[in-house]
């Protein structure tokens, strides 16, 4: 009988921005990957239904969240994108680690830039941490074991 690997835990991960592992995040929402459905039917086809073929790939944003500190790196990156800085794109890697810190899987995002920057609400009646969130748009996504 074939053995099945155990499901992976998602609590131990690193986010790498262009070769640096100093980006600590408490939450990562990996993007949804979609393929367009292209319906095609030639004029001489006898079938009443079009044939579906895969079209272009598209992705939702990669969402990264962390507790707000006085480090303004994410804000400065978003501001550079807003101001049209041509060097704003970065390759980003999310690495999933096992309990011993060994690499299990990695997701690679090419030419990522911050499309959305937001902060959690401030509330004088709560003791919640302020959370900084950045949503990254990117050109392509690859997964490696």
Encode pLDDT of 47-106 as tens digits. 888 899 999 999 999 999 999 999 999 999 999 999 999 999 999 999 999 999 999 999
Alpha-carbon distance of 60 to 33, in angstroms, equals 7
Paired tokens of 102? 């060994």
Pairing of strands 13-17, 90-97: antiparallel
pTM of the model: 0.88
pLDDT band at 20 (very low <50, low <70, confident <90, very high): low
Alpha-carbon distance of 25 to 108, in angstroms, equals 16
Across the chain, mean pLDDT equals 92
Alpha-carbon distance of 48 to 37, in angstroms, equals 17
Domains and CATH numbers, the chain: 13-40+49-144 (2.30.110.20)
Alpha-carbon distance of 108 to 17, in angstroms, equals 10
Mean pLDDT of 105-116: 97
C-alpha dihedral, 13 to 19 to 113 to 108, nearest 10°: -60
Give buried/exposed letters for 15-50 (b at 16+ CB in 10 A, else e): bbbeeeeebebeebebbeeeeeeeeeeeeeeeeeee
Mean pLDDT of 18-32: 83
């Amino acid at each position: 009988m074939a053995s099945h690997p155990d499901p992976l835990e998602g609590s131990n991960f690193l986010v790498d921005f262009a070769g640096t592992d100093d980006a600590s995040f408490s939450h990562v929402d990996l993007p949804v990957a979609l393929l367009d459905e292209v319906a095609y039917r030639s004029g001489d086809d006898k079938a009443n239904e079009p044939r579906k073929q895969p079209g272009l790939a598209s992705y939702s944003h990669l969402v990264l969240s962390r507790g707000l500190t006085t480090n303004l790196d994410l804000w400065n990156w978003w501001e550079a994108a807003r101001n049209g800085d041509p060097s704003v794109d970065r390759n980003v890697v999310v690495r999933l680690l096992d309990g011993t810190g060994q690499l299990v899987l990695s997701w690679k995002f090419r030419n990522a830039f911050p499309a959305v920057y937001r902060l959690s609400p401030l509330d004088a009646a709560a003791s919640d941490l302020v959370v900084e969130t950045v949503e990254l748009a990117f050109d392509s996504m690859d997964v490696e074991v």
